[in-house]
């Protein structure tokens, strides 16, 4: 079950079938079910429930009243075996819910490294989340959502099932995304959700060079202010700015979008 460096509160309930890495700390009133795997130095503060199909990496901090890897909120789910895999160094604040996958969605929910989930955030079944994202209070992903890396999902925002959120996207608070959210851009709106251009301040803070920010700004202007049809605008952006890796990713993201993306 665990080595001598593991600390388990006498008020916690931890299955002997769970696997606990070196230095794991399990606080009072936590429940860790059969088959759960928790990596080294991860800390469950208190009142945390870890399902038996959850795999948690190293150096995570999980705050009270969070659930990780419990059954999905999907009426098609009938108890089949599925998983949730959480990476390393994530901070998961109070009341967060991270659900495992379903057979129809590939059977797995994945969350990578260095993410911050603020109070009440929710990641539904079969989602795939990258690294270094910030989910503000009560940010919500429906099932089958893909989130890239470096994104900010604003407070009380919601992403519709099967949508994608591109790398370094910024979603303002209370945004309802029913289409894909463009990478590098600011997308805001409760019902008339729109892309409001490049998140220039955020990208500069992350160290993106000026030529990349300028290229993305020009690309957005061509795509949404030139009056060209979608395919014509994408081709012009590719011809004029496609040598910039971030612009090339933006073009690819739009072309591969099954639902379409929120426009300006």
DSSP letter at 213? Answer: H
Residue 144 sits at the vertex; the CA angle it makes with 55 and 264, to the nearest 5 degrees, is 130
Q: What digits encode the pLDDT tens for the residues 9-60?
A: 999 999 999 999 999 999 999 999 999 999 999 999 999 999 999 999 999 9
Q: Are strands 194-198 and 185-188 parallel, antiparallel or unpaired?
A: antiparallel
Position 2 scores a pLDDT of 56
- State percent of the chain over pLDDT 70: 99
Q: Which of 3-7, 63-67, 128-132, 245-249 has the lowest mean pLDDT?
A: 3-7
Q: Tell me the pTM.
A: 0.95
Could you list the active site residues?
A: 125-126, 143
Rounded CA-CA distance 15/8 in Å is: 11
Residue 71 neighbours by CB distance under 10 Å: 15
Q: What digits encode the pLDDT tens for the residues 199-208?
A: 999 999 999 9
Question: Domain 7-162 maps to which CATH number in 2.30.30.60, 1.20.1440.230, 3.40.50.360, 2.160.10.10?
Answer: 2.160.10.10
Position 190 scores a pLDDT of 76
Q: Provide mean pLDDT across the span 121-133.
A: 98
Tell the residue number behind the tokens 């301040």, with chain if given.
201
Domain 203-255 has CATH 1.20.1180.10: yes
- Identical fold for domains 7-162 and 203-255, yes or no, is no
Q: What digits encode the pLDDT tens for the residues 133-143?
A: 999 999 999 99
The percent of the chain in helix, strand and coil, each rounded to the nearest 5, is 20, 25, 55
Q: What digits encode the pLDDT tens for the residues 68-112?
A: 999 999 999 999 999 999 999 999 999 999 999 999 999 999 999
- Give the start-to-end residue ranges of the domains of the chain: 7-162, 203-255
Rounded CA-CA distance 184/166 in Å is: 7
Phi–psi pair at 200, nearest 5 degrees? -60, -45
């Amino acid at each position: 079950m665990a080595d001598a460096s593991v600390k388990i509160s006498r008020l916690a309930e931890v299955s002997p079938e769970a696997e606990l890495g070196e230095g794991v700390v399990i606080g009072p009133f936590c429940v860790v079910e059969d088959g759960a795997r928790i990596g080294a130095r991860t800390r469950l503060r208190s009142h945390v429930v870890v399902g038996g199909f959850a795999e948690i990496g190293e150096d995570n901090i999980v705050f009270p009243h969070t659930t990780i890897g419990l059954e999905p909120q999907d009426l098609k789910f009938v108890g089949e075996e599925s998983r949730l895999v959480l990476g390393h160094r994530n901070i998961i604040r109070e009341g967060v819910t991270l659900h495992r996958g379903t057979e129809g969605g590939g059977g797995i929910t994945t969350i990578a490294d260095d993410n911050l989930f603020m109070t009440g955030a929710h990641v539904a079944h079969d989602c795939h989340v990258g690294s270094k994202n910030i989910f503000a209070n009560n940010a919500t992903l429906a099932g089958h959502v893909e989130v890239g890396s470096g994104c900010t999902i604003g407070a009380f925002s919601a992403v519709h099932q099967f949508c994608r959120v591109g790398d370094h996207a910024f979603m303002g608070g209370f945004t309802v995304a029913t289409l894909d959210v463009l990478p590098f851009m600011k997308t805001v709106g409760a019902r008339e959700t729109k892309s409001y251009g490049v998140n220039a301040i955020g990208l500069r803070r992350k160290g993106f060079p000026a030529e990349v920010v300028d290229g993305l700004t020009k690309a957005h202007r061509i795509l949404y202010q030139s009056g060209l049809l979608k395919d014509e605008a994408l081709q012009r952006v590719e011809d004029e700015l496609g040598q910039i890796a971030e612009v090339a990713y933006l073009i690819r993201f739009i072309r591969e979008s099954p639902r379409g993306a929120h426009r300006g």
